[in-house]
Chain A
């Protein structure tokens, strides 16, 4: 069964304290792995798509990486405005359905 597990559930960082969020996945064949940011009371906002092991993508302080079993979202020198829930999702080959993890709630303290 296709499955996505995110860790940690919650993370508190001081401003400038870099860290990584983990997304472990089990899927028969990977069509894509997706990272989203969700602010309280809003819908998820797309960040990155990764398609194959070894691929990396960056946007401002965020960098996403992918292996055959997991993905990491690295946050470098975070700021309070990076506080949000980060969701990971996978899409298996042969389907257009997305399977989401439960997310990591990130709080960055000034």
Chain B
């Protein structure tokens, strides 16, 4: 049982380049989330999805795009990378039942934009 899998684990981008961070979960969760975590800070929500074909913005969506074509996959797209996007990115999925919500996280993608 793999849980939430993120690829790549590390990446260095040049300013203006684009890339896609991959996230896959095998728990059949409807809800998926993308966060960024800057040093010494908590998690900031970028985008989330409540099911295939449905996405919505979080606190810090600018510079990012998402899509959700399947239950399992929730890729995060960075267009025109900027130094301000240097961060650790976490994908999470959750089951949202009554008195049963638990969020599971991937191991993260460490991104540097130089």
Binding site for B on A (CB under 8 A): 4, 31-32, 34, 36, 41-46, 49, 51, 87, 89, 91, 96-103
Query: Is B12's CB within 8 Å of the partner chain A?
Result: no
Say yes or no: A34 contacts B106, CB within 8 Å.
no
Say yes or no: A87 contacts B43, CB within 8 Å.
yes
Q: For B33, list chain A residues within 8 Å (CB).
A: 98
Q: For A51, list chain B residues within 8 Å (CB).
A: 99
Interface residues of chain A: helix, strand, loop or mixed (majority): strand
Please name the residue on chain B nearest to A32 by beta carbon: B101
Known: A43-B107, A44-B90, A96-B31. A49 touches B45 (CB 8 A): no
Proximity bits, B44-86, A CB within 8 Å = 1, else 0: 1100101000000010000000000000000000000000000
Q: For B44, list chain A residues within 8 Å (CB).
A: 100
Say yes or no: A101 contacts B42, CB within 8 Å.
yes
Q: Choose one: A32, A34, A45, A103; the contact of B42 (CB below 8 Å).
A: A103
Q: For A46, list chain B residues within 8 Å (CB).
A: 102-104
Q: For A45, list chain B residues within 8 Å (CB).
A: 105
Known: A42-B108, A43-B90, A44-B90. A98 touches B103 (CB 8 A): yes
Query: Is B26's CB within 8 Å of the partner chain A?
Result: no
CB<8 Å pairs between A and B, sample of 8: A43-B90, A43-B106, A43-B107, A46-B102, A46-B103, A87-B42, A97-B48, A101-B42
- Alpha-carbon separation in the docked complex, A34 to B101 (Å): 9
Q: Min CB distance, A56 to chain B, in Å? A: 15
Query: Is B2's CB within 8 Å of the partner chain A?
Result: no
Say yes or no: B105 contacts A96, CB within 8 Å.
no
Q: Choose one: A41, A43, A49, A97; the contact of B105 (CB below 8 Å).
A: A43
- Alpha-carbon separation in the docked complex, A13 to B41 (Å): 22
Say yes or no: A43 contacts B48, CB within 8 Å.
no
Proximity bits, B22-37, A CB within 8 Å = 1, else 0: 0000000001010100
